Structure 1
Amino acid sequence: MGEIPVMDFELSDEQRLIRSQVRDLCDEFGDEYWREKDLKHEYPTAFFEAFADGGWCGITIPESYGGQGYGVQEASLVQQEIARSGAGMAGTSITAHHTFSTEPLVAFADEEHKERYLPDIADGSVQVCTGVTEPNAGTDTSRIETVAEREGDEYVINGQKIWTSKAQEADVIMLLTRTEPRAESDRFGGLTLFFTEFSRDMDGVEVSEIPKAGRGASDSNEVWFNDVRIPAADRIGEEGSGFRYLLRFANTERIAIASNAVGVGQAAIEKAAAYAGERVVFGNPIGSYQAVQHPLADSWAKLEQDELMIRKAAWLYDTDRDCGAEANAVKLRASEDSLEACERAIRAHGGMGYASEYDVERYWRETMINVIAPISNEMVKNYIAEHVLGLPKSY
């Protein structure tokens, strides 16, 4: 029996260096930068280029394909620091697709497929998006209707995706399709996953941006495919096994969401504490009043606990252990705690919390997405009830 790895709550010197380097990079793009991008709905090109130049696009891609070969633990640190810097969910959204959407490609694609895409993803020369959610297939992925029909050495794609982030900029897409009709006996059978070239300018592709409450600097889109031809060689693994491959991405995505949420919440509490220490009402800093300081202290403690659970979930994943319960649980807790922290930060600012110049309203708008996506917290509770507590399926 081999030696069992021991979980260490202390970050390694290398992990602390990663956190420090990302923090230094983000310091060049402060709240004013992200506030402007949010208000103007502009893609943060300069930030992405700096992120790519630093080698961070390939943090989880193996070194043999030009990446850094780190695990989800290190990737989660990067995401948390980006969010905490004031970039919020906009900053993490434009970078997470490189870090996490490549997991099925790395784990299940053949060698030629990896060589075709991973080096360019690792150096940031291409932009990545993910096409999974559909108007009739959000929470229930088995309802995917986008069809991939085999014709010789190609597949012909027809259908619609929704909430596809970065489709305006993307050069490649991880795309979930149906290659066989849905059957009640095997609801997730017949789903096939591709990683292939994509552009809004491709023949048969139409992209329309969705106006939304937050993440103004990161576009979300509806995408239509009308007889779009892609190489059969861009299929990941076996036809009909796409849902199984997608599950590898799902757990890392939940860990990423939790990391983003904790970072945004920490940014909000830091802003609120600084304001409460300076703002004087009735002759005293408002931070001296327990009605102000207790909620902020409570949120700080909750976010610290959430970060510890992120470390555990990422450790489980990186050591090839089952982390489904932990990844779902930390997504649940971190998203709720972040939303609460951002609301408390707004309240601590009083009327100025509603003003764009203090940024906490932007944090609040951005972190709301973590409660409802990529899966709602109600569905997370269903998962825990059924798969952890052994209770009957409720839906």
Structure 2
Amino acid sequence: MDFILNDEQKLMIETARKVGEAFGPDYWRQHDADKAFPSECWQAICDAGLAGAMLPEELGGAGLGMVEVALIIEELCAGGAGATLAQVFMLNPIFGGVSVAKYGTDQMKRDWLPKMCSGEMQFCMALTEPDAGTNSLELRTTAVADSGGWRLNGQKIWITGVPQSQKMLVVARTTPVDQSPKKTRGISLFMIDTDREGVSYTAIDKLGTNTLSSSQVYFDNVHVRADELIGDVDKGWHQLLDVLNTERIVTTAGLVGAGRLAIRLGVDYAKERRVFGTTPIGAYQSIQFPLAQHWAELEAAKLLNLKAASLFDHGVPFGSESNAAKLIASQAASAVAERAMQVMGGMGFAKEMHAERLWRDARLFRFAPVSEEMILNYIATANLGLPRSY
């Protein structure tokens, strides 16, 4: 395996680093306080040609792969954003880009993907439901065939980025479970206008990731046109998995970047802070060892994530690698952000030091987009051959 970056990748990483540093920790602290979407940062990412890195050049992208996307996201998040910036990539290049590029019609690709790359159009995805979280096969949102399309009814929860989006990828059951040969059949994907009659949403007050809103979404007899179907009717489950598995790679890249940022904040403080005499606290092994441990964990997560991304780019199954990488990265990023707070002592509790925001944001990803317990279930059955418990 070749771990040496080529010139194009180096240039791309340097571009991402400059954009990330232009919107440093102070920018994100203010937007977190204001609960404001990072519009300026996302537009700069689009203007630099980073948003469409893995989309074809004829559709406004750069024609690169998932490896490059992971490297871009890591660098952007390390610059000051922390893990939450990766979510914007989930919404747009993944929920919008992957779903449309792989399963959308030629018209969808021409109309939407260039606008996603330029920042003119944003996406979100409505999957999770109050009674169907991890167990997505139990979703109750229905799309019933109607003249010229479908009628959509149901409720979703924890849907990210709804207010900023123009398009929403909706997962609904088009054939009832009792009429399907198996649970994985009868599910379909639709890309509808967010601003459409019958669609409403309310914000959820939450601990972190405040720069991206989370909402409950309601569908009340929403008309869905026939040309808004993504992929094939009743066969959306496996198409959805293609989208969700790439989401793991994006999440991990953001967590690795957030972890790098937390280590940098902790190290910079430890080099300057003196408590007893003239020796900086960074010389104490009780300060050094935990930071060094988490650095090693983040490096391991990064390499495993790049392996997953490379497998994706070569059309090879990558579920085990992407899930395991996300497991390690989520635990390490959350732990090192808290460790940075500990290094800073009482000042770690102050918002001006940024570490507390990194912890609040990173903590989400120990149970989202898939919980660590479900990842361990997956590894136990898929990799160890153990029987399922659910």
TM-score interval, smaller chain: over 0.9
Preserved contact between residue 311 and residue 318 of structure 2 (Cα < 8 Å): yes
Q: 2: distance between equivalents of 1:59 and 1:195?
A: 22
Q: 1: distance between equivalents of 2:42 and 2:109?
A: 23
Question: For residue 143 of structure 2, what is the aligned residue in structure 1?
Answer: 148
Preserved contact between residue 65 and residue 118 of structure 1 (Cα < 8 Å): yes
Scaled by the length of structure 2, what TM-score is found? 0.96
3-state secondary structure, aligned to 2:245: helix
1:342 has 2:337 as partner: yes
1:249 has 2:243 as partner: yes
Preserved contact between residue 302 and residue 337 of structure 1 (Cα < 8 Å): yes
How big is each residue's C-alpha offset from its partner over 1:335-355, in whole Å with a ceiling of 9 and x where there is no partner?
111111111111111111111
Q: 1: distance between equivalents of 2:267 and 2:220?
A: 52
Q: 2: distance between equivalents of 1:108 and 1:204?
A: 26
Matches within 5 A, 1:67-146: 67-101=61-95, 102-146=97-141
3-state secondary structure, aligned to 2:192: strand
The amino acid of 1:228's aligned partner reads V
1:19 has 2:13 as partner: yes
- TM-superposed CA distance for 1:261, in Å, is 0.9
Question: For residue 172 of structure 1, what is the aligned residue in structure 2?
Answer: 167
- TM-superposed CA distance for 1:143, in Å, is 0.8
Q: 2: distance between equivalents of 1:169 and 1:109?
A: 22
Question: For residue 215 of structure 1, what is the aligned residue in structure 2?
Answer: 209
1:187 has 2:158 as partner: no
Name structure 1 gaps, 5 residues minimum: 1-6
Q: 2: distance between equivalents of 1:339 and 1:31?
A: 17
Q: When the two structures are aligned, how many residues end up with a matched partner?
A: 387
Question: For residue 389 of structure 2, what is the aligned residue in structure 1?
Answer: 394
- TM-superposed CA distance for 1:369, in Å, is 1.0
Q: 1: distance between equivalents of 2:268 and 2:346?
A: 16
1:60 has 2:48 as partner: no
Preserved contact between residue 20 and residue 77 of structure 2 (Cα < 8 Å): no
Q: 1: distance between equivalents of 2:356 and 2:295?
A: 18
How big is each residue's C-alpha offset from its partner over 1:340-374, in whole Å with a ceiling of 9 and x where there is no partner?
11111111111111110000011000001111011
RMSD (Å) for aligned C-alpha atoms: 1.3
Question: For residue 269 of structure 2, what is the aligned residue in structure 1?
Answer: 275
| One of 227, 234, 245 as aligned partner of 1:240 | 234
Question: For residue 314 of structure 2, what is the aligned residue in structure 1?
Answer: 319
How big is each residue's C-alpha offset from its partner over 1:131-165, in whole Å with a ceiling of 9 and x where there is no partner?
11111111001011111112122221111111111
The amino acid of 2:336's aligned partner reads A
Following superposition, which runs of at least 4 residues in structure 1 exceed 6 angstroms of deviation?
none
Preserved contact between residue 86 and residue 253 of structure 2 (Cα < 8 Å): no
How big is each residue's C-alpha offset from its partner over 1:259-286, in whole Å with a ceiling of 9 and x where there is no partner?
1111111100111001000000111100
Question: For residue 3 of structure 1, what is the aligned residue in structure 2?
Answer: none
Name structure 2 gaps, 5 residues minimum: none
1:196 has 2:192 as partner: yes
Question: For residue 42 of structure 2, what is the aligned residue in structure 1?
Answer: 48
Question: For residue 4 of structure 1, what is the aligned residue in structure 2?
Answer: none
1:332 has 2:327 as partner: yes
- TM-superposed CA distance for 1:109, in Å, is 2.2
- TM-superposed CA distance for 1:203, in Å, is 1.4
- TM-superposed CA distance for 1:56, in Å, is 2.2
How big is each residue's C-alpha offset from its partner over 1:15-59, in whole Å with a ceiling of 9 and x where there is no partner?
111111011112211111100110111112211221222222222
Q: 1: distance between equivalents of 2:384 and 2:59?
A: 41
The amino acid of 1:36's aligned partner reads Q
Q: 2: distance between equivalents of 1:136 and 1:246?
A: 19
